[in-house]
């Protein structure tokens, strides 16, 4: 009997990488408009790759990018990049289709909902608020809650403790095989691979996730709960 569903946040509930790519392109374009002497396509690719290298949550990527490709970080270019990035982010940061309707149905079934994310606490809550999802969750576990990243046991165990449930009563849904799925299995949670959100940069074979369940669209979660709780 599944009594709670734990969800990863980025690329499981929201198309985070799509937003990041588009926002990076717009930030690069803004820097070029402000005087950066680079081809737009080259700059966009280099900026996104720097995010992957430095950290997808990094706040210093733009300044490091300018230091590397412009020789110095000019306030004019940096401010233009930040403003364009934030404007673009506000437009493209949306839940995947049918996320909200699926949550409403799960709540009607008295299924508890939780988030287990490696994102910093403030950024996680900013995304949840921006996408209208913040009020759905009984529990939200972010990086600061354990100072450990998935697949470490600590984030999952923290969520279970807050939910006051056993591992076999919960299912973890995530797009990252080596973090979400392997971490869930370590703790004894049922696992569900969100194949629609898988990205090449996250690694693993999407056809060999090792998960108990696989979904290709978000509301497939409802079918899984229906089968599991017969």
Three-state secondary structure along 14-56? Answer: ECHHHHHHHHHHHHHHHHHHCCCCCCHHHHHHHHHHHHHHHCC
Contacts 24+ apart (CB under 8 A), 144-153: 144/120, 145/121, 149/118, 149/179, 150/116, 150/118, 150/174, 150/176, 150/179, 150/180, 150/183, 151/178, 151/179, 151/180, 151/182, 151/183, 151/186, 152/183, 153/183, 153/186, 153/187
| Listed residues 49, 65, 92: the one ending a domain | 92
Q: Same domain for 106 and 218?
A: yes
If asked whether residues 112 and 167 sit together in one domain, one would say yes
Q: What percent of the chain has pLDDT over 70?
A: 100
CA distance 168 to 73: 51
SS3 category, 8: coil
Mean of the pLDDT values across residues 172-193?
Answer: 98
Residue-range definition of the domain harbouring residue 46? 17-92
Q: Do residue 110 and residue 187 come from a single domain?
A: yes
Bridge partner list, 215:
194
- Report the CATH number that the domain containing residue 86 is assigned in CATH: 1.10.150.520
At 201, the pLDDT band (50, 70, 90 cuts) reads confident
Place of tokens 């673009």: 88
Same domain, 52 and 104: no
What is the model's pLDDT at position 222? 98
Judgement on whether residues 176 and 154 belong to the same structural domain of the protein: yes
Where b means 16+ CB within 10 Å and e means fewer, 194-223 reads bbbbbeeebebebeebebbbbbeebebbbe
Burial annotation 77-109 (CB, 10 A radius, 16+ → b, else e): bbebbeebbeebbeebbebbeebbebbeebeee
Residue 187 structure tokens:
């703790």
In this structure, are 84 and 103 located in the same domain? no
Total tally of structural domains belonging to the chain: 2
pLDDT of residue 184 exceeding 90: yes
If asked whether residues 176 and 114 sit together in one domain, one would say: yes
Strand, helix or coil at 172? Answer: strand
Chain segment 60-106, per-residue pLDDT in tens:
999 999 999 999 999 999 999 999 999 999 899 999 999 999 999 99
């Amino acid at each position: 009997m599944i009594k709670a569903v734990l969800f990863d946040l980025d690329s499981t509930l929201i198309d985070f990488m799509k937003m990041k790519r588009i926002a990076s392109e717009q930030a690069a374009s803004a820097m070029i408009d402000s005087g950066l002497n680079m081809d737009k396509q080259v700059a966009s690719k280099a900026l996104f790759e720097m995010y992957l290298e430095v950290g997808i949550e990094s706040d210093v990527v733009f300044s490091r990018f300018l230091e590397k490709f412009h020789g110095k970080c000019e306030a004019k270019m940096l401010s233009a990049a930040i403003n364009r990035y934030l404007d673009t982010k506000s437009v493209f940061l949306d839940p995947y289709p049918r996320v909200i309707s699926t949550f409403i149905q799960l709540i009607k079934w008295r299924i508890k909902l939780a988030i287990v994310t490696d994102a910093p606490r403030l950024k996680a809550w900013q995304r949840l608020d921006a996408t209208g999802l913040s009020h759905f969750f009984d529990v939200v576990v972010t990086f600061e809650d354990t100072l450990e990243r998935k697949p470490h046991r600590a984030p999952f165990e923290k969520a279970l403790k807050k939910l006051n449930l056993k591992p076999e009563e919960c299912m973890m849904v995530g797009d990252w095989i080596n973090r979400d799925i392997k971490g869930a299995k370590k703790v004894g949670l049922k696992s569900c691979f969100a194949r629609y959100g898988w990205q090449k940069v996250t690694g693993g074979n999407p056809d060999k996730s090792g998960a108990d369940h696989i979904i290709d669209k978000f509301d497939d979660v409802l079918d899984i709960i229906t089968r599991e709780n017969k």
